């Protein structure tokens, strides 16, 4: 059932309060991607067990497969059933129109990412599109996130190593960050400090000193995309510095697929899919719980 505008505004106001509290109390909300209802259940159950506030998020592929309104309904159902603090983020929204649709559907967090759809988008195009979404979001109070350039990698399991000399060319700079935040009025800045989309055969390395410099430069929230495959001590330091949102996808997908392969191999004659899922859900839930611990968000939920 669609939410009323008043309900949407109340949810967004609570989301803002939680992000402000995360900054004060030095924890981050995990933003966990959904592929299906099983991953939603895993995230919701982890949030319940850890008493942690969480974001669930979908990108355009999941929007096409699941539907904006359907995800809103499913999340609200699990919130009511389990009594958890859970919000929705529209991740890497590729256009102004797609971002506005997420706002209309009552999503509390909107990530507008023009450069994801067009790697050659100009600074002026990215700023103009982001400002338009920021203005539109005032209708509900949704928090808008963006970044000034294409963010590398992909939400998959990679076999190649990480070329940090190449990646450093796209790192955020304090000066560029300040200009972008001031020009757009965003609520959350997606920093590039060594984080990279996807899971790689080598651990990722976060430039914590650069992250400190960025934190000292801007007043808005800071997010880290591409959190999968990152040693937990980086997250612990990042939340102390002031990061309040961390995205996780590939670690969940890896656990899901590997566990499903095992379950299928263990019981090759079972065709009732629902009977195959408990072990898969438990594996994904374990990943989410471990991230919640690293993000220092366990015990932080505020449930009515």
DSSP string across the chain: -PPPHHHHHHHHHHHHHHHHHHHHHT--EEEEE-SSHHHHHHHHHHHHHHT--EEEEE-HHHHHHH-HHHHHHHHHHHHHHHT--EEEEEEEE-SHHHHHHHHHTT-SEEEE-HHHH-TT--HHHHHHHHHHHHHHHTTTT-EEEE-SSPPPEEEEE--S---HHHHGGG---HHHHHHHHHHH--SEEEE-SS--EEE-SS-----HHHHHHHHHH-SSEEEE---TT--HHHHHHHHHHT--EEEE-HHHHHHHHHHHHHHHHH-TT---HHHHHHHHHHHHHHHHHHHHHHTT-TT-----
What pLDDT shows up at residue 140?
Answer: 98
What pLDDT shows up at residue 103?
Answer: 98
pTM above 0.75, yes or no: yes
What pLDDT shows up at residue 235?
Answer: 96
Pairing mode, strands 245-248 and 29-33: parallel
Is the separation of the CB atoms in 198 and 156 below 8 Å? yes
pLDDT in tens, the chain (304 residues): 789 999 999 999 999 999 999 999 999 999 999 999 999 999 999 999 999 999 999 999 999 999 999 999 999 999 999 999 999 999 999 999 999 999 999 999 999 999 888 888 899 999 999 999 999 999 999 999 999 876 666 666 776 776 777 777 788 999 999 999 999 999 999 999 988 777 776 778 899 999 999 999 999 999 999 888 899 999 999 999 999 999 999 999 999 999 999 999 999 999 999 999 999 999 999 999 999 999 999 999 998 7
What pLDDT shows up at residue 36?
Answer: 96
What pLDDT shows up at residue 226?
Answer: 87
Domains of the chain, first to last: 5-294 (3.20.20.70)
Separation of alpha carbons 124 and 126, rounded Å? 6
Using alpha carbons, select from 111, 88, 300 the residue that is nearest to residue 187.
Answer: 111
């Amino acid at each position: 059932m669609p939410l009323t505008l008043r309900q949407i505004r109340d949810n967004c106001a609570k989301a803002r309060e939680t992000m402000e509290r995360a900054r004060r109390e030095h924890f981050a909300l995990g933003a966990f991607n959904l592929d299906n209802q099983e991953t939603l259940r895993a995230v919701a159950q982890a949030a319940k067990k850890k008493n942690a506030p969480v974001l669930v998020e979908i990108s355009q592929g999941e929007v096409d497969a699941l539907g904006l309104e359907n995800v809103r309904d499913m999340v609200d159902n699990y919130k009511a059933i389990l009594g958890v603090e859970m919000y929705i983020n529209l991740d890497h929204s590729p256009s102004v129109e797609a971002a506005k649709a997420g706002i209309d559907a009552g999503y509390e967090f909107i990530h507008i990412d023009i450069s994801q759809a067009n790697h050659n988008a100009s600074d002026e195009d990215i700023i103009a599109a982001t400002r338009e979404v920021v203005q539109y979001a005032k209708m509900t109070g949704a928090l808008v996130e963006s970044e000034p350039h294409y963010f590398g990698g992909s939400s998959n399991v990679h076999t190649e190593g990480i070329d940090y000399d190449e990646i450093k060319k796209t790192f955020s700079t304090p000066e560029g960050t300040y200009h972008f935040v001031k020009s757009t009025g965003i609520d959350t800045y997606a920093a590039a400090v060594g984080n990279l989309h996807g899971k790689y055969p080598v651990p990722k390395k976060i430039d914590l000193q650069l992250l400190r410099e960025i934190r000292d430069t801007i007043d808005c929230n800071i997010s880290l995309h591409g959190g999968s495959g990152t040693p937990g001590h980086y997250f612990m330091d990042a939340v102390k510095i002031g990061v309040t949102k961390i995205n996780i996808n590939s670690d969940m997908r890896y656990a899901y697929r590997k566990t499903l392969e095992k379950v299928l191999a263990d019981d090759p004659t079972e065709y009732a899919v629902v009977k195959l899922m408990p072990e898969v859900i438990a594996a994904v839930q374990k990943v989410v719980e471990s991230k919640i611990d690293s993000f220092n968000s366990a015990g932080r939920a505020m449930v009515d």
